[in-house]
Copies of this chain bind each other. A is one copy, B any other.
Amino acid sequence: MLSDDDARLWHAWKTATERVEARVAADIAAATGLSVADFAILTRLSELGGGALRQNELAVALGWHRSRLSHQLSRMERKGLLERVPHDSGVEVRLSDRGAGQVALARPVHAAAVRAHLIDPIPATEAARLRVVLEVLGADGAAGGA
A123 touching B133 by the CB < 8 A rule?
yes
Asked if A88 lies at the interface with its beta carbon under 8 angstroms from chain B, I say no
A135 contacts which of B5, B12, B123, B131 (Cβ < 8 Å)?
Answer: B12
Copies in the complex: 2
When each residue 98-124 of chain A gets 1 if its CB lies under 8 Å from chain B and 0 otherwise, what string results? Answer: 000000000110011011111111110
Give Cα distance in the complex from A19 to B142, angstroms: 9
Question: Measured between C-beta atoms, what is the minimum distance from A6 to chain B in Å?
Answer: 5
A118 contacts which of B9, B16, B20 (Cβ < 8 Å)?
Answer: B9
Can you name 23 A-B residue pairings with CB atoms under 8 Å?
Answer: A1-B112, A2-B111, A8-B131, A10-B114, A10-B119, A12-B131, A13-B118, A15-B134, A15-B138, A18-B138, A19-B137, A19-B138, A20-B138, A116-B143, A116-B144, A117-B137, A117-B144, A118-B137, A120-B143, A120-B144, A122-B136, A126-B129, A130-B130
